[in-house]
Each structure stands twice: as structure tokens, then as C-alpha cells.
Amino acid sequence: MPVRRRVRDERAAGDAYETAGDDALDQDELDEEDEDEFDDELEEPEEDEEEPARAPRGAGRRSRRLSAATAGMAGLRHIAALTGKHTEGVTLVQPAEDGWLAEVEVVEDRHVPSTGDMLALYQVEMDPEGELLSYRRVRRYRRGRGDGGGTG
């Protein structure tokens, strides 16, 4: 008996759905229109906000140039991504003819105690926007040893 009741209930629900189907579709269409209007309202202020931000970028290459601090951080990120090693910090940042030159200290091999760590100094050349042009390992040394001098 319970099986028959479920079938009847399903039929009754199905009949109700069929008769109310048009109303349900109309409501869905209204909901979609409301969502579209809401999306448009959200997008319009973003476009207004983006306009002033775009103007300085298009003003020329000079506005896209990096500061020394930003160039150093860009060099650090490039070396970390390329080597996959832990970076200790930036030891040199200087403007070059066609961009920036930075040196980044990297832990190449960890030891216990840390005074046995092997460090390396990498030189990074970047364009004026901070994009990587080249990099190379300048020297490798044990932590705690005197500074033998870098390239700077």
C-alpha cells in the first residue's frame, strides 16, 4: 500500500508542477532579469573606478618604472621561483642602463648548526618594468665566513 501512495503523491505533485509550470518559469525569468540588473549595477562602478587607474598607465613608460625597493622585491621573487630555494634577502639593487640589477642571497644547502649552511649570491637583471632578463649565480660560500665581496 505505501508504494501506491507514493505514486499518487508523485502524480499529484507532477500535475501541480505542470499547471504551475508556466508561473514557475515566469518567476525564474524575473529572477534572472533581477540578477542581470544587479550584475550591471556592480559592474558600472568598477568601470568608473578603472578609468582613472588606466589613464596614468597609458601616460608613458616612466609611470610603469619601478622604485628601487620594488625592483629588489621583484628580483627576490624571480630567484625564489627559479631556484625553488629559500631566499635570505636582497643585498644589492641598482639602476642599470636598460632596467635594474639586483643581488639576492639564497640558502642552497641547510645544515645543523646553521653556521654550516651553504649560501649563494645570485645576480638578477630586469627590464624597467621588473621583468626578468637574465640571472646567474655570482658566488657560493659558507654562512659565517667573512664577506669576500660581491659584484657590487
Residues 87 and 116 grouped into a single domain:
yes
- Position 57 scores a pLDDT of 40
Q: Which residue has the higher pLDDT, 152 or 145?
A: 145
**Where do we find the cell 562602478?**
45
Residue 151 covered by a domain:
no
Whether 120 maps to a domain, the answer reads: yes
Question: Which has the higher per-residue pLDDT, 147 or 150?
Answer: 147
pLDDT at site 31 = 52
**Does a structural domain hold residue 110?**
yes
68 has a pLDDT exceeding 80: yes
In this structure, what is the dihedral angle of CA atoms 146, 148, 150, 152, given to the nearest 10 degrees? Answer: 100
Residues 27, 75 share a domain? no
Residue 89 is part of which domain span?
A: 65-142
What is the pTM assigned to this prediction?
0.55
